[in-house]
Amino acid sequence: MYIRSNLRPALIWRMSRRSLIVFTIYNTLVCLLYGPLDVHVLDIPWQPVATLGTAVAFYIGFKSNGSYDRFWEGRQLWGSIVNVSRTWAIRVFDFVQPEPGQGAHLPDPQEPHRRLVYRQVAWCNALRLHLRRQIAERWDAEVAPFLLDPAESAAAKGMSNPPTHLLRHQSEELRALYEGGLLSEFRHVALMETIQDMFNAQGGCERIKNTPFPRQYAYFSFVFVWVFAALLPLGLVEEFDHRVALGQYHVWLMVPFAVLVSWVFNIIELMGHATENPFDNQIHDVPMTTICRSIEIDLRELLGETALPPKIEPVDDVLY
């Protein structure tokens, strides 16, 4: 996620340099044919071009709004994951406890606390890698250290949906704690409801990831912008040619104006495309790595640990 208040010119240039070059060459060619070479058959009335531009503006605006809604829903889902992770840790600490008068006959709950909280951190990281399709290359470094049982880590890594497998292990451990007397029935139900909240958040993220933005909207948005950019200089060149007061070379003013208008339409279309898939680890996506690190720090602090990792810092104004 780009966090700088304004975009750097270098970033804008990287995003749009190809289209700018194409627009400049094409508009210059049209102007050259119309002016010095006197090929006036190219010019068309301005009114149809203006009407097309209005329609394209509405269309790409619709696409941009739809793309941003996908990004914002993804960010809300990860905000809920932050909240449910904190709720899980607090409930684990307060609920996984022996009943009054039974403490002498039951094991120390500190070790189950640590396993349940660490597995929650592992689930957050596993969900992030699952959405980014990075399980194979990053599991051992970013998920396995939080799973205290190597066999559990190996089994989860081999599953088609590792985050679901980890939540299954959370549920199994809660049942064992209930049967062992460290968890009452009411508290067991409350913790299972928290797991249900995790499944809801995971399912929402997977729905966005596995349901691409409707290709008909994305494709025709691109096509319409470039059709408009192709017709724009043909409609503008005669308009500038008729402005006698601008001087002998006034027709060349069409080039920068046509390039500017085409560039604006193209940038709007590109922004919609950039936010279509908020979990692809691009500069405009949900910063899941940063969120996972924040969850890890919060939960490990609740465990009383002091050797904590640093917060994720932006790289070139981008949080990943």
Asked if 131 and 171 sit in the same domain, the reply is yes
Number of domains in the chain: 2
- Does residue 251 lie in a domain region? yes
207 inside domain: yes
What percentage of the chain has pLDDT greater than the value 90?
Answer: 57
The pair of three-digit structure tokens given for residue 66, joined into one six-digit string: 């739809």
Report the Cα–Cα distance between both ends of the chain, in Å, rounded. Answer: 6
Prediction pTM value: 0.88
Confidence of residue 63 (pLDDT cuts 50, 70, 90): confident
Q: What does R_g of the chain's alpha carbons equal in angstroms?
A: 28
Residues 114, 205, single domain; the answer is yes
pLDDT, average across residues 70-81: 95
Q: CA-CA distance, 184 to 191, in Å (whole number)?
A: 11
Distance CA 228, CA 293 (A): 45
User: What domain range is 146 assigned to?
Assistant: 71-211+288-302
The whole-number pLDDT of residue 273 equals: 82
Measured distance CA(215)–CA(66) in Å, rounded? 12
Highest averaged pLDDT of the listed ranges 104-113, 238-247, 287-296: 287-296
Q: Please give the angle made by the CA atoms of 56, 260 and 233, to the nearest 5 degrees.
A: 70
Do 101 and 239 lie in one domain? The reply is: no
Residue 309 belongs to a domain = no
pLDDT given at position 180: 86
The span from the CA of 119 to the CA of 96, in Å, is: 15
Query: Would 311 be classed as within a structural domain?
Result: no
**How does pLDDT run across 159-202, given as a tens digit for each residue?**
999 999 999 999 999 999 998 888 889 999 999 999 999 999 99
Domain presence at residue 308 = no
Q: What is the full DSSP assignment across the chain?
A: -B-SSS--HHHHHHHHHHHHHHHHHHHHHHHHHHTTT--GGG---HHHHHHHHHHHHHHHHHHHHHHHHHHHHHHHHHHHHHHHHHHHHHHHHHHSSPPTT-GGGS--THHHHHHHHHHHHHHHHHHHHHHHT-HHHHHHHHTGGG-S-HHHHHHHHTSSSHHHHHHHHHHHHHHHHHHTTSS-HHHHHHHHHHHHHHHHHHHHHHHHHHSPPPHHHHHHHHHHHHHHHHHHHHHHHHHHHT-GGG-TTGGGGHHHHHHHHHHHHHHHHHHHHHTS-TTS--TTS--HHHHHHHHHHHHHHHTT----PPPPPPBTTB--
Same domain for 112 and 231? no
Do 181 and 227 share a domain, yes or no? no
Residue 282 domain-assigned (yes or no): no
- Which pair of tokens denotes residue 215? 């290709």
In a domain, 177, yes or no: yes
Write out the two tokens for 252.
Answer: 């060349």
Same domain for 177 and 293? yes
Are 294 and 147 found together in one domain?
yes
Given CA atoms 257, 261, 266, 268 in this order, what sign does their dihedral have? positive
Q: Is residue 292 part of a domain?
A: yes
Same domain, 135 and 82: yes
Report the 10 Å Cβ neighbour count for 98. 18
Arithmetic mean of pLDDT, 6-34: 87
Question: What CA–CA distance (Å, rounded) separates 319 from 313?
Answer: 7
Residues 98 and 151 in one domain: yes
Of residues 104 and 185, the one with the higher pLDDT is 185
Average pLDDT over residues 86-99: 91
Position 106 pLDDT exceeds 70: no
CA distances from 141 to 81, 122, 126, 144, 145 (A): 21, 11, 11, 6, 7
Task: Say whether both 101 and 162 belong to one domain.
Answer: yes
Could you tell me if 157 and 121 lie in one domain? yes
Query: Region 92-104: what's the mean pLDDT?
Result: 76
Q: What is the pLDDT of residue 35?
A: 73
Do 163 and 294 share a domain, yes or no?
yes
Distances from the Cα of 189 to the Cα of 90, 180, 192, 199, angstroms: 15, 15, 5, 15
Spatial separation of the C-alpha atoms in residues 45 and 283, rounded to whole Å: 41
